[in-house]
A = this chain, B = another copy of it.
Amino acid sequence: MLPDSPNDHSIGLVSTQYVHIEQPLKLACGLVLKSHDLVYETYGELNGERSNGVLLCHALSGDHHAAGFHEGDSRPGWWEHYVGPGKPIDTDKFFVVSLNNIGSCFGSTGPASINPDTGEVWGADFPSLRARDWVESQKLLMKYLGIECWAAVIGGSLGGMQAMRWSLEHPDKLLNAVVIASSMKLTAQNIAFNEIARRAIKSDSDFCDGHYLTQNKAPLRGLALARMIGHVTYLSDELMGQKFGRQLRIGDLVDRNTDPIEFQVESYLNYQGDKFSDTFDANSYILITKMLDYFDLSREYENNPVKAFSHAKCNFLVVSFSSDWRFAPERSREITDALLAAGKSVSYVEIESDKGHDAFLLPNERYQNALDGYLSHVAQGLKGGAK
């Protein structure tokens, strides 16, 4: 059973750490980041063999704060339900590393950072990134932390893409990949939704071709719209029906001309959009949705996923959610089929859920059990014990 409140088994107070990586990072686009900053958090303790490291990979809008509480905050990290002492990603057993990836906007080097070559904010000039660039940056953090091999690399959505990319690019550097609500490549519909979100941002007259920060502006309306589009598509039709139905925010539908009539779902969405635009950077949103679009697991393996996965050495857990229509179960089945055809060890679990793509962040007993079962087994096999 899940705890009644995520706080019951929370890791408690956590603090964010920071590292300046001096080593140049050659990006897939051909450009080089001469150095970069990463912010990250760690939960649990590294064991004597340094074998119990687990890397969490965030998705589009995620950050390094996956679990526990920051001083003064009432809300825990984004994966509090699953990361903590006695939880599936068990901080009593694992040394969990969660970073904010480059290109994002929560402290690691990204479009809102200063370009050392110009002394100005990068803005829209920040290099185009690929999921593999995140993996390479994560590998530099891994080295800094003195970890030789991850017990597991875990992520949902774009996070799952990073886990898969790790398994191909650095097969000796991880023992397990947990790929949740992900895909080997986006569908045309998914790309279309991302493009509409980007166009919403770029259409905002305060976008200033991506150089809004140097002009003391911010495309808040466009970013809010982008988030609203994402938000609707990350929920299921069924869940929205249960949550809002056709309830009005106030009054009824009769004979109204002057007062605006607003459904609850409208005010909820507008609120979500506005809240998001206050905390996220528009250039990061454009950049990271492009990363999602560009991801194509097997492009360099003759477009053959089986050939691609034949390079992997780790074991896999693949998880999908029944009502997720942006990263549908079919996508996870494709991953699983390719892994099986490549002769890899893979467990696949399709979770019944009405919560759409967001299900991977939310409490669900079967999902919890699947993660727990798999990762308990991983912990048991650790060289040097849990810690």
Report A's interface with B, CB cutoff 8 A: 27-31, 127-128, 185-189, 191-193, 195-196, 199-200, 203-205, 221-222, 224-225, 228-229, 232, 235, 237, 240-241, 243-246, 253, 255-257, 261, 263, 265-266, 269-270, 273, 290, 293-294, 296, 299, 325
30 A–B contacts, CB within 8 A, in A order: A29-B255, A29-B256, A29-B257, A31-B257, A186-B246, A187-B237, A188-B237, A188-B240, A188-B241, A188-B243, A189-B240, A191-B263, A192-B228, A192-B232, A195-B228, A195-B265, A195-B270, A196-B228, A196-B229, A199-B270, A200-B225, A203-B204, A203-B222, A203-B224, A205-B205, A237-B325, A253-B294, A253-B299, A261-B290, A261-B294
* A241 interface neighbour in B29, B189, B296, Cβ under 8 Å: B189
- The reply to whether B196 and A296 contact each other, CB–CB distance below 8 Å, is no
- The reply to whether B189 and A203 contact each other, CB–CB distance below 8 Å, is no
Highest count of chain B CB atoms <10 Å: which of A189, A205, A257, A296: A189
Expressed in whole angstroms, the Cα–Cα distance for A205 and B270 within the complex equals: 18
Nearest chain B CB to A186 CB, angstrom units: 7
Nearest chain B CB to A287 CB, angstrom units: 12
- The reply to whether A191 and B29 contact each other, CB–CB distance below 8 Å, is no
Nearest chain B CB to A182 CB, angstrom units: 16
- The reply to whether B188 and A246 contact each other, CB–CB distance below 8 Å, is yes
- The reply to whether A225 and B240 contact each other, CB–CB distance below 8 Å, is no
Nearest chain B CB to A285 CB, angstrom units: 15
Nearest chain B CB to A208 CB, angstrom units: 13
Nearest chain B CB to A119 CB, angstrom units: 21
Expressed in whole angstroms, the Cα–Cα distance for A241 and B187 within the complex equals: 6
Question: What are the 7 closest A-B residue pairs judged by CB atoms, nearest first?
Answer: A29-B257, A188-B240, A203-B221, A195-B266, A188-B244, A189-B237, A188-B265
Nearest chain B CB to A274 CB, angstrom units: 10
Question: What residues on B are CB-neighbors of A235 within 8 Å?
Answer: 189
Expressed in whole angstroms, the Cα–Cα distance for A222 and B265 within the complex equals: 21
Question: What residues on B are CB-neighbors of A257 within 8 Å?
Answer: 27, 29-31, 127-128
- The reply to whether B246 and A185 contact each other, CB–CB distance below 8 Å, is yes
Known A29-B255, A188-B243, A229-B229: A196·B269 in contact at CB below 8 Å: yes
- The reply to whether B253 and A296 contact each other, CB–CB distance below 8 Å, is yes
Question: What residues on B are CB-neighbors of A203 within 8 Å?
Answer: 200, 204, 221-222, 224-225
Expressed in whole angstroms, the Cα–Cα distance for A255 and B27 within the complex equals: 9
Question: What residues on B are CB-neighbors of A128 within 8 Å?
Answer: 256-257, 261
Known A30-B255, A269-B195: A263·B221 in contact at CB below 8 Å: no
- The reply to whether B199 and A228 contact each other, CB–CB distance below 8 Å, is yes
Question: What residues on B are CB-neighbors of A195 within 8 Å?
Answer: 228, 263, 265-266, 269-270
* A191 interface neighbour in B243, B265, B273, B296, Cβ under 8 Å: B265
Q: Who on chain B is nearest to A186 by CB?
A: B246
- The reply to whether B255 and A188 contact each other, CB–CB distance below 8 Å, is no
Expressed in whole angstroms, the Cα–Cα distance for A237 and B253 within the complex equals: 34
